[in-house]
Structure 1
Amino acid sequence: MFRLAHISDIHLGPLPDLSYRELASKRITGYVNWKRNRKHLLNPGVTEALMAGLAQVDADHIAVTGDLVNLALDAEIELAREWLTAVGTPDDVSVVPGNHDAYVPGALAKSCRAWRPWITGEKTGVGLSEYGFPYLRVRGNVALIGVSSARATGPFMALGHFGASQAARLGHLLRIAEQRGLFRVVMIHHPPVRGATSAHKRLYGIGLFQRTVRRHGVELVLHGHTHLPTLHHIPARDGPAPVVGVTSASQGIGGKKPAAQFNLFEIDGRPGAWSLGLMRKGVAGATLALREIERTELLAPLQPAAK
């Protein structure tokens, strides 16, 4: 059995000091939002408690689906690299970026360069974007495929993008993983599901993403972005594929959205007979003690027909 942990939207804080030059961009709106709202809702102490609990569950691998930072300042990007080093080695942790990691033009390149060890896959013969996506990593009988929906957008926008070139490459990687008999997990920041978030935060290319998995198949899709513990299904070649979101890893107690959680998946079986269980665990109470929120069986192997 392979145990895969999933966290997202860490939004490491607090914000470092900003120069006037750094504020002369979209960052001014994000800075104001941080001061008025986010710094009261997102709590580094909560993240520490959540990660301490995650360290106790003995996961085989950790998937991080974006938004490690807030305004993609150079100091934030470096802090995130140090944080990833503390979370686990590049062999044990895989990352895809989110819209906050690409907050302004040029930021995504800096983020991917700093976090390169955690977003480098194996050589497959499939081309990569200039930032290294999509990539394929194999751990045990699981294929982790990292897709980037991150891009810089205008003020008050948090849109994602999934285009034709990445779709073609993703299709190739899904096929390669299938040929190797692997359980395929796609990681992306924005939910590839219609209606999962508001119009100014949605993913452009949802239809293209869904057509790709409908053609090639996928066993599990992980995302962040919404700060919600969601479960959707999208059409895939072999039947509906679960699409699982998670709360922000820094969300404090008492806000409108659930406090910080992580997902833990138990993957077992073989092609055509996979099993997939989901357990959600999160912080609770004044002591931020970790508790189990939910257990769900997402995939069960087909049972032989009765004679």
Structure 2
Amino acid sequence: MTETFTLVHISDVHLGPLDGFHLRHLNTKRALGYLNWQRGRRHVHSRGVADRIAADALAQAPDHIAVTGDLANLGLPGEYANTLAWLEALGDPRRVSVVPGNHDIYTRRLGGASCLETWAPFMRGNETPTDETGPVRFPYVRRQGPVALIGLNSAVPTPPFVAAGRLGEAQIAALSQTLVRLGETGLIRVVLIHHPPLPGQAPPRRALEDAAALAEVLERCGAELVLHGHNHRQMLAWRRHGVRGIPVLGAASASAAAAHKAEPLARYHVLRMRRESGLAHIDCEIRGLAETEGEIVRLAREDLVMPGR
């Protein structure tokens, strides 16, 4: 199998504005989140920059686009509707895949819409006709040419000041079976998750609670690539499996118009992958802003091959 597949990876766009904020949506966490947005984050995350990143991504003529969560900010119904329009401009649901982030499932549902309903066409599998109807189920599997995209949901409602995630035993068990099954097909298995999937990649209040269990599944069952967001930083880690290992690649925010603490300006990944002689070859190009108000350019590129022991 020598077909080259181009996958764009975008994360943490935090689309503004915060339309549709009503008293019926208010609770302690949303109130604190709203203050945080007004005082700081709205000066970092720019819809204009997110739109420019999207346009540049489409100019790379990708076969598929993966968005690993945090499209919203406070989990408001108006945000879900605005984000749906942005996703539809990005591409047809058959060519764009989404997994939710902690800002998308921000707090307990207060009678409004859910991103799992509003964005459902972008979060359904395509292995069988029944996958494309009914409620969203995780993990989902989307076969795209030589690639199988496996979407996980690590987003759960959390208390104020907590942005942790959790998969749960059922989702991890299903992932294990899915990875083994797809591994027998020769497809390039790409796992999508919002939270960093390995232990120690985020502080406890922001971490994936069952990262150790997920890491064990990856090591035992294998995958060719794991994509995540959440930390708003460029990250590359590895998990041992076989000879080559599994690259675990984290994206920075795709809407950052200004550097914030250790978070860089907006960027995203262009991943060109193929399988030759039984091995997956993945070329990663990082594109984004090199300077505020600058053009979107190539920032770096790297072949994702595990370094020697």
Q: Under a length normalisation based on structure 2, what TM-score does the superposition of the two structures give?
A: 0.91
Aligned-residue Cα RMSD (Å) equals 2.2
Structure 1 residue identity aligned to 2:88 = T
Match of 1:284 in 2: 290
Whole-angstrom distance in 1 between the partners of 2:88 and 2:215: 34
Instruction: Note if 1:221 corresponds to 2:226.
Output: yes
Whole-angstrom distance in 2 between the partners of 1:162 and 1:239: 26
**Within-5 A mapping of 1:82-231:** 82-106=85-109, 110-123=114-127, 131-231=136-236
Instruction: Note if 1:79 corresponds to 2:82.
Output: yes
Whole-angstrom distance in 2 between the partners of 1:126 and 1:274: 30
Equivalent residues of 2:290, 2:299 under 8 A apart: no
Equivalent pairs, count? 299
Say which of 7, 19, 22 aligns to 2:22: 19
Please give the secondary structure, in 2, of the residue aligned with 1:203. Answer: coil
- Structure 2's unaligned 5+ residue stretches are none
- Structure 1's unaligned 5+ residue stretches are 301-307
* Worse-superposed segment, 237-246 or 61-70: 237-246
* Worse-superposed segment, 233-242 or 21-30: 233-242
Identity of aligned residues (%): 39
Please give the secondary structure, in 1, of the residue aligned with 2:35. Answer: helix
Match of 1:275 in 2: 281
Whole-angstrom distance in 1 between the partners of 2:215 and 2:22: 42
Q: Deviations over 1:28-61 (max 9, x none)?
A: 1100100111011111111112111111111111
Equivalent residues of 1:11, 1:68 under 8 A apart: yes
Please give the secondary structure, in 1, of the residue aligned with 2:41. Answer: helix
Q: Deviations over 1:260-296 (max 9, x none)?
A: 1110111012463221111100023354311111111
Which aligned runs of 4 or more in structure 1 are off by greater than 6 angstroms?
Answer: 124-127
Whole-angstrom distance in 2 between the partners of 1:125 and 1:18: 37
Whole-angstrom distance in 1 between the partners of 2:235 and 2:27: 36
Deviation (angstroms), 1:20: 2.3
Whole-angstrom distance in 2 between the partners of 1:170 and 1:15: 34
Match of 2:68 in 1: 65
Q: Under a length normalisation based on structure 1, what TM-score does the superposition of the two structures give?
A: 0.92
Deviation (angstroms), 1:21: 2.6
Deviation (angstroms), 1:160: 0.3
Q: 1:158 to 1:179 in 2, by over 3 A?
A: same
Equivalent residues of 2:244, 2:305 under 8 A apart: no
Equivalent residues of 2:273, 2:283 under 8 A apart: yes
Whole-angstrom distance in 1 between the partners of 2:80 and 2:67: 15
Q: Deviations over 1:61-87 (max 9, x none)?
A: 100000110001110011111111110
Equivalent residues of 1:281, 1:293 under 8 A apart: yes
Equivalent residues of 2:101, 2:194 under 8 A apart: yes
Q: Deviations over 1:166-185 (max 9, x none)?
A: 11111121122112210000
Deviation (angstroms), 1:122: 2.5
Say which of 10, 13, 23 aligns to 1:7: 10
Whole-angstrom distance in 2 between the partners of 1:115 and 1:102: 12
Whole-angstrom distance in 2 between the partners of 1:204 and 1:126: 31
Please give the secondary structure, in 2, of the residue aligned with 1:26. Answer: helix
Match of 2:267 in 1: 261
Equivalent residues of 1:47, 1:250 under 8 A apart: yes
